[in-house]
Amino acid sequence: MDQKSLTVGVLGPKGSYTEQAALCYFKDCAIIDNYLSPQDIIEDVSRLVIDYGVVPVENSIQGGVASTIDALIKYRVNIVGEIVLPINHVLAAHPKAEFFRRVLSHEQALNQCKDYLKAEYPHCALEPTASTSLAAKIVSEKEIADALVICSEHAAKTYKLKIIAKHIASTNNNETRFFVIGNSTAKPTVHDKTSIVFGLIDRPGALYDALGVFKKYEINLTRIESRPTKKKLGDYLFIIDFEGHKDNEIIKKALEELSSATTFIKILGSYGIA
């Protein structure tokens, strides 16, 4: 399919890191940037409203994105790809700005850049917004001349803000992993990863037995996370990423054996990795 005809849902507004990830993956597509949550994107993919969605699933500093995981468990969609995007915050402002009284950005970005702000702009009040790109949009469209913005360079250029400083975060290893969500199944590649979710019987050693299946078949786990079932306190589901494609014979055997040690298994998708 011609990528230009594809509709891809991302977290908005225009200029978001999610949009940047989508453009890295699809190169050329019709971006739908009016989504406020990963669940809304994943739901619209499941309803065939859009062809694909790009959603954040994990950040190297903040950890997993719970709303994405919960929606993947809830809706019948497939993970068909992933993008790992370096998160490089910049400090920007309206071109007419000459003095600053406040800093607008997402709460996480404000926290990730707090050392820089404390050293360079200790007098500025911090004003959280729903996203970094929304902060850039507000300052640009309202021509706010007394505010700084923490956002991506992509957002600063999108809204024609002047960049004052780059790489202002306290850590240099800030990366976000995004899933590409669709209704198709990705074919095996040279390097693949599979994501699954499963439940366990409440008994001693249940998780140990489940994980032992991966050791038996020498399958490398790359991530494990638990999420509450929302049924009762202490009842959890486990989300696991591991190397290999679900159509590989060894993976098939492992998943078949895993089914005997779990109450249910849902394959969230197999997808190629860079």
Are residues 128 and 72 part of one domain? no
Between CA 41 and CA 251 the distance in angstroms is 29
Mean pLDDT, to the nearest integer, of 232-247?
92
> What is the chain's mean pLDDT, rounded?
94
| 176 flagged as catalytic | yes
CB 196 within 8 A of CB 255: yes
Each residue's pLDDT tens digit, 47-94: 999 999 999 999 998 889 999 999 999 999 999 999 999 999 999 999
Task: Look up the domain containing 74 and give its range.
Answer: 3-86+174-182
Are residues 155 and 33 part of one domain? no
Class of residue 248 by CB neighbours under 10 A (exposed 0-12, middle 13-18, buried 19+): middle
| 178 flagged as catalytic | yes
Are residues 12 and 58 part of one domain? yes
Between CA 258 and CA 249 the distance in angstroms is 14
Among 129, 158, 176, 194, the one annotated catalytic: 176
Residue 250 lies in a domain: yes
Whether the predicted pLDDT of 234 surpasses 90 = no
Between CA 248 and CA 267 the distance in angstroms is 14
Residue 43 lies in a domain: yes
CATH, residue 232 = 3.30.70.260
Between CA 206 and CA 107 the distance in angstroms is 38
Cα four-point dihedral sign 16, 48, 5, 3: positive
Among 68, 129, 178, 214, the one annotated catalytic: 178
Helix (H, G, I), strand (E, B) or coil at 221: strand
Are residues 54 and 97 part of one domain? no
Q: How many domains does the chain have?
A: 3
Are residues 103 and 30 part of one domain? no
The single-letter code of the amino acid at 258 is: L
Residue 145 has phi, psi (to 5 degrees) of -100, 0
Are residues 123 and 106 part of one domain? yes
Are residues 178 and 68 part of one domain? yes
Mean pLDDT, to the nearest integer, of 153-181?
95
Mean pLDDT, to the nearest integer, of 15-22?
95
Residue 16 lies in a domain: yes
Are residues 72 and 99 part of one domain? no
Between CA 124 and CA 134 the distance in angstroms is 19
